[in-house]
Amino acid sequence: MIGYVTLGSKDRQKAGAYYDELLSLVGAKRAMEDGDRLILWADGKGAMLGVIAPADGNAPTVGNGVMVALAMPSREAVDAMHAKAMSLGSKDEGAPGVRGGNFYGAYFRDLDGNKLCCFKIG
């Protein structure tokens, strides 16, 4: 289904260091790099996540209503990822907790303002 998702970034070096630490919590590592334009991370099990300079040369912007959700193996992993994101300078968009039925999630924005969710169902 989904092969990869990219998020616009104005500073791929800074975003690279941020995502290296954050995504290490789910076993993801850099899978592809294209100079200063693109970095993709993969865990070998699912879709990749990347940061990219927009191809049109314009400044990256955050899409209103756009969010990337990262599936986690446990509620504890959700808590750990949210805490790690906060320690790396993320903006909190919703602390870990149950949101409707058995959906446990947390929300934050990366250093460029892109919105992410980490979640566990069940």
pLDDT 10s digits, 43-91? 999 999 999 999 899 999 988 889 999 999 999 999 999 999 999 999 9
CB 96 within 8 A of CB 104: yes
Extract the tokens encoding 87: 């320690």
Tell me what pLDDT residue 2 has. Answer: 86
Total-model pTM: 0.90
pLDDT 10s digits, 13-29? 999 999 999 999 999 99
Domain 4-121 listed as CATH 3.10.180.10 = yes
Contacts with 75 (C-beta within 8 Å, 6 or more apart), sequence order: 96, 104, 120
Contacts with 6 (C-beta within 8 Å, 6 or more apart), sequence order: 38, 40, 49, 50, 51, 52
